[in-house]
Chains A and B, each alone.
Chain A
Amino acid sequence: MQESSAMEQKTNGNSEPGSVLIDGKLGMLRAILDIIIPADTGFPGAGDLGASPYVERNATKSPHFTRLLLDGLVQIDVESYATHKKNFTDLKVDQKIEVLRVVEENATAFFELLIRYCYNFYYTHPKVLKLLGLETRPPQPKGYQLHTIDLSLHDKVTARGQFYRQV
């Protein structure tokens, strides 16, 4: 009984009901997303910001994306071992980039979805919007103020006279 419980604990240690990622795969996804958008000049990496649960949650909504995600992560693992004999999470940054470039070329559909969900999470996150100098509010009801154009800029155009073909 104890041995069985220990096995269950090992495989389900970081998963929640409805998850598709177990056995450290969520941590691997986090490491991947920190390469997709790395920490830079005060901005957090996408993985550190918390993008991996978001990506996984979206995968659970679509059987197609679930498969793409699981297959894609396996390919990343396979490529990591094939070229560096290590888990992806144990590679150096440049090695991780190299592995992801290979997988990007070989698993285009997976990679495009990964990028899309990563960017979706990152660039709608209040912390990132604040760092970009934006107000974290919806566009309405305030909108934005804009100045009107300098009307003297039209002078050169109007000086040309009629510019349409009379029929």
Chain B
Amino acid sequence: MFHLWQLLPIALAYLLILFAIAYVGDRRAERGHSPLDHPTVYALAIAVYCTSWTFYGSVGRAAQGGFGFLPIYLGPTLAFAFGWVALKKMLRVAKTQRITSIADFIGARYGKSQALAALVTVVAVTGTVPYIALQLKAVSASVDVLLIEDTAGTFFSLDTAFLIAAALAAFAVLFGARQIEATENHPGVAAAIAFESIVKLVAFLAVGAFVTFWLYDGFADLFARAAAREDLARLLEFDAAAPGWVSLTLLSAAAIFCLPRQFQVTIVGNTNERHLDTAIWLFPLYLLLINLFVLPIALAGLLAFQPGEFDADVFVLALPMVEQAPLLTVFVFIGGLSAATAMVIVETIALSIMVSNDIVMPLLLRWSRDRLERVQDVTRLLLRVRQLAMVAVLLIGYAYFRVLDGSFGLVSIGLVAFVAAAQFAPLLLGAVFWRGGTCKGALIGLGAGFAVWLYTLFLPSLIGDALAGGPFGIALLAPQALFGLDGLDQIEHALFWSMLVNVGGFVLFSLLDRPSTIETTQATLFVECLRPDERPADVGPTQVPLQDLRRLAERYVGIEPTRRALRAHAHERGIQLRPDTLVDRDTIQAVERLIAGAIGAASARVAIASAVRPQGETTDAILEVLDETSQVLEYSRRLEQKSMELVQASDHLRRANERLRELDKMKDEFLSTVTHELRTPLTAIRAFSELLFDEPDMDQDQRMEFLGHIIRESERLTRLVNQVLDVAKMESGRMDWDIERVDLGAVLAESAVSVRGLYQTKALRLDLVRPPHPVWVDADRDKLQQVVVNLLSNAEKFAPQSKGTVRLELTDLGDRVQVRVTDNGPGVPEVHREAIFERFFQSNQSGMGNPTGTGLGLAISRMIVEHFGGRIWYEPNPDGGAVFAFTLPRALPRIDAAK
């Protein structure tokens, strides 16, 4: 119907419009009005799910199996309903971890594993190849239908499909690899894709309306006419569609998340979690609308054309064309082209990101690190790699298209790609729901599933039935009927076996494996990502100066973004970042996340490791260091410390409690003893007083004697009360100490004088021995004298009458001074040597009398001496008798020695 010179400009013009939209979208995004701010754009971008497969292939499938095309769209509808929570988690994690692709996501979850990310990339690329071939096939078929020139599929001796592939490659590169985005959002591309989704929908609805209401008199008429024909009537019953209905639904439900391009637009391309709320219903609505007219168009085509006149896949074009509606035909063609280009652009962008981040970058980092370091601007290198990857993917897609076994219809080719993508489903589900999933399990599961897919679908698609009998004739290993399981549709068969080994391997090897620290950290991060945020403990600084880190980031992300990110980080944490500041782990992680936006999480980790450690260490050692000193370890160490401190604190409390109880008991004892002691002299005083009162005629001598007793007991009572007061004051710390520099020798002399009377009464001798010079101590003069007098009076009490000698001696021991009071009395028995210093201990208990003693003298002396920092004790005299001694620390010489 058309000449090439008519068709080509139209196609080019449309593509240029697309490009313009993308360009404007990017510009507006830079200025802050990103197209991705609108949830509708986001939802429509997800509609890239509907490719030329939807546009052409659905009708083709409907012509064969009635409703059989529908599960491919029902599945995603159900998946969106069911997977809301899963999607939210994935969105949250992708945002915080700066995920750039599905390979990045899976690799990051299972321990930031580069190997796993690389495997995912390989599976994604291999699995997409059939899908790209499908687009090429559809578009070239549509061109062939429209062109008047009988080019028989060639043009200028160049294959139409090849030209289309080349054109698509050029546009993909122009759209997707002009600059490295920090977030891989590509707002311009998203705007263009959303526009294309609208064009697709409108075009399909237009042709559908045309067929139903123009060619026929509405649905009723069309269906009635179809029902009249036997071969068509069966299409309107479910039986025709039944085979594979359930498995196709499930498969598509998986594909809507696992197809690399779907992951890219749904998860990576999301800027706001709330947009999900709109997409959840808007996208299924889109699917419903675009499928409304599929069956009518198929029926109309079957009604209008003879079998074989047109391939059912192109009914959409053939019908308006045959009916001489050129404008509509062109519109439909553009719609189909739109569907194909949208898919190719998004898919190649996604794949190129994966190839550059997860295959090329890690290889470069590992093998030619020095060469890489010399490259000033790594972003240019990355872009080149991505552009090459895009072109390569399209070339491989074209090659596959050529080699493809002819027996595969459009839909079947697409389903081959679906099963490949479905291999990611267990890993994705496990990523956000199952903490037990480990890297090893994921590698084995994915690897096994991929191998089965290769063998049961990919291989047969290339070589057809050549191996139908099994390799080397082993029927059990026949690709289409493994282990004798025939009777299943080829797709179902492959799906069953690949899922079996995939899920089985994943679960089994994850359970058997013991995950490393980094795997556990990541597992928690992913699965618990919807819980409120808790910042782990802050770790101290590392040995890395900020400028090293900055230079590293600048090379991957650019100067300006790095500066902005670092400034934001410093501001958020309220710290200062100078070039020579040693950064801490928080900052390193922030920079790691920044770089991950450009080259993927796994590669970013290695790149950071090279900055944190000097050259020369192996990558494994570096990574191990990063692993083993992870924040999780630090946090748990601090928890342990805290719990130990808690145990110690409770221990202290318990002991303090015990001590309080003891003190309480002692206080009670003290009170009871004191009252007892008070009562004894009081009783005596009262007794004698009563006697004197009762007998006024007592004789003078008797009276004087009794009064003497009363006086003595009163004195004793007074002494006791004073001493008790002293003890109480000293123990409660309320004693007033008048500490000054005191000459101990002078104190001794004065004490000797004060007891002279006492000693003379008993005819005792008192010798005082002291050095001629003053001996200075820091003490309370009066209290010190009290101690010495106490010792001297004790000695007097126990010294034998008339023969007693008491020796008071002061010696200088360098840093201490010692005072000794020696007597030749009976001494103190060994058992009592410590006890005599206790309160209320009296020698009456051993039978030796001291009726005037209170039992507190020595106790008070001890308290006084110890308050001055000294020590008091008892020694036995080798000549019999007692020695009481105490030491005091010598007063330190003063600079201004005032006399």
A, B co-complexed: no
